[in-house]
Copies of this chain bind each other. A is one copy, B any other.
Amino acid sequence: MSSSPSAALVAPSFEGDFSPGEAFSLEAGGVLPSPTLRYAIYGKPNAAADNVIFVAHALSGSARVADWWPWLFSDGGLLQVRDHCVIGINMLGSCYGSTGPASIDPVTGRPYGPNFPLVSIRDVVTLQARLLDKLKIHRLKLVMGASIGGMQALEMAIQFPERVERVISIGAAPLRAMGLGLNHLQRRMIQLDPAWKDGYYAPDEPPREGLALARALAVCTYKSAELFEHRFARKPDRSGEDPWASAHERGQGLSGQRFDVAGYLDYQGERFVERFDANAYLAITRTMDTWDPARGYASAEAAFGRIQAEVMLMGISSDWLFPPDEIAALALRMEKAGVRCEHRELISSHGHDAFLAEPDELARLLHPFLE
């Protein structure tokens, strides 16, 4: 495998936009008159087109899989482009090329903004399947994803059972009440920002502080208390701030008084604002919240019973957004519905983000499933 490209060098062999050429009706009742999906392809389908892997991205990801999951493409990684064709597709509702709240609504000639309709995970995979049709990819060797990407992987196996040979879904299950509550509070933070303007903010005047704050809370849910304790404990902010400073000594509000963890969270929030749209954040978190694979079926078993793929569900031991016991319970329900379902648990202190932070351990657990 020494000739495989290193992580830093993998670029898509093709990037493009797909439009079905007609209006797309959404599960919740809305319509997208002319949706577009941005996609990226790494490597090439072989003659039999049986080497194609679709990687669905998580909340803030993009079609460029190698940008955010580089180690999958590295020497010995799961997705050797010498052997496989990897496709990434940006989700509806995102701000990385596919139709989302920042796109122009053909009906009004202005950005959708807060009027972007609710898109379900089922909508997302239904349009993805249309793109695969166009690409003449009728069968996927593997669909994999983590978090909302794992939701897409499972939903595709339910909706298009004949297309999917294998599924790997990491840290994904219908959100539980605590996760639904924390996502709701994040949306409210964005809307509390005076720059929010009911969602009609100008692109260069977004609700920065609200979005940064929402992201900072999300980061808390993506990490674990154990990791934070190890990294930050009760240390003061590393740039020299003093948590014991009185407000009146500084007159700077909260800055100047932070613990290290606070400085970290603020920084993560500020970075996120550079690369994400607030309305897209609202849209995708609602897409995540509303995912319920049983919706429209007599039961979850009836939905899962459609799956023909071999499935691997992976929980993460320290994940408190998608707790590992919830993933284990989901695996059990799938087995009862007749799905060939393996369950693994990634032992990590990194929380939900372990799917990005623990490449070696993840590879060790995933490789046997594909061989």
Contacts and interface: CB of A to CB of B under 8 A. Distances in A.
A35 to B, nearest CB: 15
Contacts of A257: 286
Contacts of A30: 246, 248-249
A320 B174 CA distance: 22
Interface stretch (A37-45, A82-90, A147-155, A182-190): A182-190
A98 interface: no
Interface string A294-333: 0000000000000000000000000010010000000000
A35 B366 CA distance: 63
Contacts of A26: 246
A176 B228 CA distance: 8
Nearest to A291: B234
A258 interface: yes
B229 A178 contact: yes
Contacts of A320: 225, 320
Contacts of A260: 177
A188 B212 CA distance: 11
Given A192-B189, A229-B176, A246-B118, A184 B261 contact: yes
Contact of A217 (B29, B185, B225, B232): B185
A9 interface: no
13 contacts: A176-B225, A177-B229, A177-B233, A177-B261, A180-B259, A181-B259, A181-B261, A181-B265, A184-B261, A188-B266, A189-B192, A191-B253, A192-B193
